[in-house]
DNA sequence: CCTCCGAGTTGAAGCGTTTCGACAACATTA
DNA sequence: TAATGTTGTCGAAACGCTTCAACTCGGAGG
């Protein structure tokens, strides 16, 4: 391995001078600078990351903690990952992959060994057992998702309340007055999953605000259950002309269920989904997107900022974006 | 930060003793061992990764180089990643994420700075510009995929020849005598993508071997093109009763195209896909799987073996597995 | 009884950086 | 001219760990 001493010898200067050329922390005469640069190039010198980490107590690596639970939409995770990595690289940082199955234990290990300078934790739930740990450790962290208590944390999330509301507004603007909501499986609401509850809340509040009748039900992810839920919605509210679906797994069965119950999309019932854009595109559904790239980028930027000592707001919410597609159409005024 | 010296002081021994307790490289009396262990636990000591890397010239980290090209199937990549990470952790290694867009340049940087002990490179093509570099650098590497020249490398791959052949055999056993092959978009064959060509080759050879008439065509990934390709296949070989599809993007249009041309699946034309299992499951297609987990696991095991100085075969091929589903059915003997 | 040996422990020398204080050499000010 | 900065460079001391050579201390072997 070629060391800084080799470079120094080759350039006829002291090792410290080489270091200063590299870091720019002291003024160096143009002559020596170019001489050193040349030696570095010639010898193919790369600073030893470990040595540097030891000397500076900075690893220039951040940990990316990924969920691998069954049920997370993998393409979205990947999108997020690439955005995060790209952003990290732009700040000369590398990314260490930590899987959520390693748990709080794994985080403690990585943090304790000073392998990373910070953490980016995806898929944080309302009551996440990693949060207390993240508060303890020396390294700053940024969370994707929003736990119950965000004090002292830095969280980034899609504004799910606004997303739910956005769906209502879109449908209301089209003339719909009776709207249904098909949510995640009931277990998702049972374990405290923030985004599901928040979407519901936003949906409900918006409907009230616009004077619209709304009904909500969870949906399991098989055809029979979806059919049952949709039937139940229609029975409760026979005049229902629009449906908001916040359940990726159920999405595939919604149109079929409606059809089976004698309703066509969008003529009889309009559908708006809250889901990854590619799914919506594939099924030609009007949808509110899950902005994976934007989340990844933002989260990493915030983390880098915190690493550089800048403060950050506890919560950053991304505004929802709605893309109109074939599953909603202007509602004709009825008699 | 709590250092090894702190632990040593607390336990009343020398730092070196603590180190030996940790690494087990010298015999330590049971008393001191437990005493030291206790101090470690009490103080919450974790060895500083950088310092360790510096002293041992081993980072205990491997780089995972991921493709992010458009067109790779993200869920498969994720599956692969999780298997690789899990396996790495089992050997007390961590994983540094490197995206392919950082190119050979990025690999050189990571290798040069001794950040990692080895490389796991996904999605290697026949003529990959990273291969020469991988040969040069100090760290060993394992490739997923097979470049043209594998001498001195360690590659893991699905046996695509066998996969192509397996499809033919399955269909031949069901009584089919005229089989078509719908391949990747032609650009994929133009740039040298090993797996596509190998599958074709295996398919063709098996057909010859079984005395079966075969025709092959590429397919672009929109409905019109797929339809055109299928029509063309049927025109060339009107007696065709089975189709092997090696094109994830086209998969969705195949049944539709056949239907549009008056053929039902599986009664008129049986279909076998070579694709990720979940896609096949979703569309109820008989398929040869892409064993992402197995590839990830095997690749990482091989890499770890090489890191420990064990030699490894240049090429490890995983046998294809076929899962029967609704898109193929036994062929009735015709008059 | 002396020597030799092995088990257990230690001190110190690295590993490759960064960074602080010191020091020339020269320019500026009083 | 003497005092005072400024600029560019250097030497040496960390940073926290591993590991080698050396040492001590019982016990076994002659």
The domain B61-158+292-318: what is its CATH number? 3.40.50.2300
Greater confidence (A331 vs B243) lies with B243
pLDDT-based confidence at residue A282 (cuts at 50, 70, 90): confident
A49/B53 CB distance under 8 A:
yes
User: Residue range A147-168: average pLDDT?
Assistant: 95
Sign, Cα dihedral of A126, A128, A132, A134 = negative
Per cent of chain A over pLDDT 90 is 84
A50/B46 CB distance under 8 A:
no
Could you list the protein residues whose CB lies below 7 A from any atom in strand C? A 1, 3-5, 15-16, 18-20, 22-23, 25, 45-48, 51-52, 54-56; B 12-17, 20, 26-29, 31-33, 51, 54-55, 57
pLDDT-based confidence at residue B214 (cuts at 50, 70, 90): very high
Sequence-ordered list of residues with C-beta below 8 angstroms from that of B287, at least 6 positions apart, any chain: B272, B273, B274, B275, B277, B279, B280, B322, B323, B325
For the CA atoms of B279, A80, A248, B221, the dihedral, rounded to the nearest 10 degrees, stands at -40
Chain C bases having any atom below 7 Å from a protein CB: 7-12, 14-21
Greater confidence (A85 vs A75) lies with A85
Nucleotide nearest B15 (Cα, C1'): C10
pLDDT-based confidence at residue A21 (cuts at 50, 70, 90): very high
**How close does chain B come to A43, measured CA to CA in Å?**
12
The pLDDT of residue A334: 44
Beta bridge partners of B288: B274, B322
Cis peptide before B266 (omega within 30 of 0): yes
Q: Residue B78: is its pLDDT beyond 70? A: yes
A47 touches strand D (CB under 7 A): no
The pLDDT of residue A332: 56
- CA angle B274-B278-B284, nearest 5°? 75
Q: Do domains A61-158+291-318 and A160-289 have the same CATH topology?
A: yes
Q: Residue A335: is its pLDDT beyond 50? A: no
Measure CB to CB from residue B54 to each of A46, A48, A109 and give the nearest one: A48
The pLDDT of residue B334: 44
Q: What is the pLDDT of residues B250-260, one digit of tens each?
A: 998 999 999 99
Q: Is there a contact between A325 and A286 (Cβ–Cβ < 8 Å)? A: yes
The pLDDT of residue B224: 92
Domain coordinates in residue numbering, chain A: 4-47, 61-158+291-318, 160-289
Mean pLDDT for chain B?
93
B49/A74 CB distance under 8 A:
no
A107 token code pair: 């985080």
User: Residue range B89-114: average pLDDT?
Assistant: 95
Superfamily name with CATH number, domain B4-47? lambda repressor-like DNA-binding domains (1.10.260.40)
Let me know if domain A160-289 sits in CATH 3.40.50.2300.
yes
The domain A61-158+291-318: what is its CATH number? 3.40.50.2300
Cβ-Cβ contacts under 8 Å, B40 against chain A: none
**How close does chain A come to B130, measured CA to CA in Å?**
18
User: Residue range A254-267: average pLDDT?
Assistant: 92
Q: Return the closest-CA partner of residue A277 out of A266, A292, A265.
A: A292
Beta bridge partners of B218: B183
Q: Residue A331: is its pLDDT beyond 70? A: no
Cβ-Cβ contacts under 8 Å, B98 against chain A: 94
């Amino acid at each position: 391995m070629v060391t800084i001493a080799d470079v120094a010898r080759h350039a006829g200067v002291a090792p410290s001078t080489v270091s200063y050329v590299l870091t720019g922390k002291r003024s160096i005469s143009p002559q020596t600078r170019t001489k050193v640069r040349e030696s570095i190039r010639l010898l193919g010198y790369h600073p030893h990351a470990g040595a540097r980490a030891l000397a500076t107590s900075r690893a220039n690596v951040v940990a990316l903690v990924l969920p691998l639970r069954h049920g997370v939409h993998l393409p979205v995770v990947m999108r997020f990952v690439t955005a995060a990595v790209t952003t990290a690289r732009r700040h000369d940082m590398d990314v260490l992959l930590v899987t959520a199955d390693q748990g709080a234990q794994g985080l403690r290990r990585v943090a304790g060994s000073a392998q990373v300078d910070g953490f980016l934790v995806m898929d944080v739930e309302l009551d996440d057992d990693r949060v207390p740990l993240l508060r303890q450790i020396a390294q700053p962290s940024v969370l994707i998702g929003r736990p119950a208590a965000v004090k002292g944390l830095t969280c980034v999330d899609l504004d799910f309340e606004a997303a739910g509301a956005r769906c209502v507004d879109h449908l209301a603007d089209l003339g719909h007055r009776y709207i249904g909501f098909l949510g995640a499986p009931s277990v998702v609401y049972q374990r405290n999953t923030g985004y599901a509850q928040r979407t519901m809340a936003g949906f409900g509040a918006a409907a009230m605000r616009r004077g619209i009748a709304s009904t909500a039900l969870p949906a399991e992810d098989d055809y029979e259950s979806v059919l049952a839920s949709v039937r139940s919605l229609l029975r409760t509210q026979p005049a229902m002309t629009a449906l908001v679906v916040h359940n990726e797994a159920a999405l595939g069965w919604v149109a079929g269920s409606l059809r089976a119950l004698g309703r066509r999309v969008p003529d009889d019932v309009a559908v708006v989904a809250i889901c990854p854009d590619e799914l919506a595109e594939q099924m030609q559904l009007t949808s509110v997107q899950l902005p994976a790239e934007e989340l990844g980028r933002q989260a990493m930027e915030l983390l880098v900022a915190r690493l550089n000592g800048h403060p950050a707001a506890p919560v950053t919410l991304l505004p929802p974006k709605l893309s109109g597609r074939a599953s909603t159409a202007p509602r004709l005024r009825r008699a």
